[in-house]
Structure 1
Amino acid sequence: MKEIKVGIIGATGYGGIELIRLLSNHPHFQIHAVYSSSQDGMEISEVYPHLANILYTLKKIEPKEMAKELDIIFTATPSGVSSQLVPQLLKEGIKVVDLSGDFRLKTEELYEKWYKKPSASIEDLEKSVYGLSEWFADEVKESTFIANPGCYPTATLLGLAPLAQKKLIQPNSIIVDAKSGISGAGRGLSPIVHYAEINENLKIYKINQHPHIPEIESILARWDDQIGHISFSPHLIPMSRGIMSTMYVQLNKEFSAEEIHQLYVNCYEDAPFVRVRKLGEFPSTKEVSGSNYCDINVTVDERTNRVTIVAVIDNLVKGAAGQAIQNGNIMMGYDQQTGLNVLPIYP
């Protein structure tokens, strides 16, 4: 099959470097160029010495020149950058998977309220397809522009989807307690990621203000418009990678733990990257580290008719670069697992 020439914008961030790691072993995607707006002209190994044998020079971002060379571009940029850059790339006819949050919300007002930045135009927002691969693969396959889901939404939506699809959730009852490793805050420096601040510490942040809240709510509403609002509390924990999203949901009908567990097994039996664990066996973040898996389990408190769902992912893989490649595979007509059958790193 044809070799697919790939470009990575934002290659010096954690999402970008994870794209390089995973794409380096992809049988069809060939990294043709890497780009940086702040470090162009440098070798990637100068930024990341562990890539000493990878000979990539960081290039300037020039959409017209990129269109002559590339088939697909992954944009691993901060929010507020992609909204300006991606429309130029699309105009040049390049397929794009965007890892920022700039195209996940479908109205300008909603984006500006939660991200506190100017929005992309409504015309460009409407062009994107939300790339939660397990549920929207048919749309991804027909698209040229994917808005890659956020890390928290990936774990949370995969955990809630079977109940939402079956309309089993009591309105306004969802509570999400989510915890992320420090890499989720990006590579930039801020007090919250200093060693002395986070070591032996647990921090809650952006309570009721996290921009992933409307992303989660908007997708849940596609499945059941009666679900309403969620309560979402994100935390940073002193580890490099991983997300655990623990969700509490009030059911609108009575079910046993066995019935709800079987619902999840059935929903994800054809999803190669979602592993529903045995009843009573709950996953931990290390069990998916470095992989594109989302491990899930679920139980029911029959006294309260409340479901507890636990979903874990590697925030840099299934929550970013791995899912982006999964979407890229689907867009380009390959099996979604291509280049992603990497076992978790353990311990």
Structure 2
Amino acid sequence: MTITAGIVGGTGYTGVELLRLLAGHPQVALQVITSRAQAGVPVSTIYPNLRGHIDLAFSEPDTEALAACDVVFFATPNGTAMEMAPALIDRGVRVIDLGADFRIRDLSVWSDWYGMAHSCPALAAEAVYGLPEQGRDAIRRARLVANPGCYPTAVQLGFLPLLEAGLVDTGQLVADAKSGASGAGRQPRQHTLLCEAGENFHAYGASGHRHLPEIRQGLEAAAGHPVGLTFVPHLIPMIRGIHATLYGRLLDPSVDLQAVYAARFADEPFVDVLPPGSHPETRSVRGSNMVRIAVHRPEGGDMALVLAVEDNLVKGAAGQALQNLNLMFGLPETLGLQGIAVLP
């Protein structure tokens, strides 16, 4: 089986990472890659690492061309997918949105955080949240998958075992997360310039960040009730990677956290629970679809401390999108995603 694929918005960091992964997928044939700004320009001119692997040129977005594909990925600014996806889905195309248009179920909350009205509430209600470790069966049946954000992936996977088993006080969860500069996208911004970001470290969005309602929604689904979450993201001076340090107060400090995490993720191909006492490093997942997790109980107290690392462009975006494609089309979940992390 060959799956024909199109990408809307192929010039950003997430889009090019998706191109890199799809070029190595044995059962996917890329047909369309759109970019209004770069229409007519060969992909390899913008991204020379793809020379010899992708021979397509960027093209203007065209519904007819995209509708000829089996699946279309949206790697676009928020607000784009919700305008284009309905026409494609009506013609039998399956859609994976790497943006935020379909991630949040409560559209009034979505509008508050993204500053616009949602244009297709019916599809938003149908969309399946694409975190395979939490919703694999629903993803297999989906016409529309909302690919999770980068921070939400690391934070949710780190907390899932604690919440599913009812092991922590869900009113006082804390997520302290750091991301490399590629998480801000490819568009020039002063705070990601080398002279601004280099030799520097700072928090942002401490009073409220767009990923907060998405994370909270996923954690509440795992817990089965509302949760209290403090989420603080930080920018660190590196290109790729997310490190999430998560805190939850244990209801029973005698619980064997290592055993809980090892059992929960035993059959997950892209979650690696490290041995006791480990401290995962972002470089250990660079370029791979793996999340590495370590659990601690400092000084034998009642605090569960979870450390989770991922590549924000792979498991936090394009790799997870490819994982979802495999599920949607009945392929082995790991197909095209077996690459080993790049180190150093």
Q: Give the TM bin, normalised by the shorter chain.
A: over 0.9
Determine whether 1:77 maps to 2:76.
Answer: yes
Q: Matched residue of 1:261: which SS?
A: helix
Residue 161 of structure 2 corresponds to 162
Q: What pairs with 1:287-306 in structure 2 (closer than 5 Å)?
A: 287-301=284-298, 304-306=301-303
Determine whether 1:268 maps to 2:260.
Answer: no
Residue 65 of structure 1 corresponds to 65
Distance 1:49 1:24 in 2: 14
* Residue from 291, 306, 311 that aligns with 2:308: 311
Q: Matched residue of 1:59: which SS?
A: coil
Q: Which amino acid aligns with 2:30?
A: I
**Contact map agreement 2:154 2:291 (CA 8 A) in 1:** yes
**Contact map agreement 2:66 2:72 (CA 8 A) in 1:** no
Q: Offset of 1:89 from its aligned partner?
A: 1.9
Per-residue CA deviations over 1:208-232 (Å, capped at 9, x if unaligned) read 3211100011111112144522100
Q: Offset of 1:50 from its aligned partner?
A: 2.8
Q: Offset of 1:90 from its aligned partner?
A: 1.4
**Contact map agreement 1:103 1:120 (CA 8 A) in 2:** no
Identity %: 38
Q: What pairs with 1:140-219 in structure 2 (closer than 5 Å)?
A: 140-219=139-218
* Residue from 329, 336, 344 that aligns with 2:326: 329
Distance 2:215 2:121 in 1: 20
Residue 96 of structure 2 corresponds to 97
Assess, with a 3 A threshold, how the Cα gap between structure 1 residues 340 and 303 changes in structure 2: closer, same or farther.
closer
Deviates more, 1:166-175 or 1:48-57: 48-57
Distance 1:306 1:324 in 2: 33
**Contact map agreement 2:170 2:248 (CA 8 A) in 1:** no
**Contact map agreement 1:36 1:61 (CA 8 A) in 2:** yes
Per-residue CA deviations over 1:184-220 (Å, capped at 9, x if unaligned) read 0000011111111100001211113211100011111
**Contact map agreement 1:241 1:314 (CA 8 A) in 2:** yes
Per-residue CA deviations over 1:299-344 (Å, capped at 9, x if unaligned) read 1135540110000000000000000000000000001000100000
Q: Offset of 1:25 from its aligned partner?
A: 1.1
Distance 1:339 1:249 in 2: 35
TM-score between both structures, scaled by the size of structure 1? 0.96
Q: Which runs of 5+ in 1 are unaligned?
A: none
Determine whether 1:320 maps to 2:317.
Answer: yes
Determine whether 1:51 maps to 2:50.
Answer: yes
* Residue from 334, 338, 341 that aligns with 1:341: 338
Per-residue CA deviations over 1:99-148 (Å, capped at 9, x if unaligned) read 00110001221101112233243212112100101121000011111000
Q: Matched residue of 2:297: which SS?
A: strand
Distance 1:303 1:281 in 2: 16
Distance 1:292 1:50 in 2: 19
Distance 1:236 1:171 in 2: 27
Per-residue CA deviations over 1:11-65 (Å, capped at 9, x if unaligned) read 1111110111111111111112211133222211222233333311111212233
Q: Which runs of 5+ in 2 are unaligned?
A: none
Deviates more, 1:79-88 or 1:309-318: 79-88
Q: CA RMSD in A?
A: 1.3
TM-score between both structures, scaled by the size of structure 2? 0.97
How many residue pairs match? The answer is 343
Q: What pairs with 1:1-150 in structure 2 (closer than 5 Å)?
A: 2-53=1-52, 54-67=54-67, 69-150=68-149
**Contact map agreement 1:108 1:121 (CA 8 A) in 2:** no
Q: Which amino acid aligns with 1:105?
A: I
Distance 2:65 2:50 in 1: 26
Q: Which amino acid aligns with 1:222?
A: A
Q: Matched residue of 1:222: which SS?
A: helix
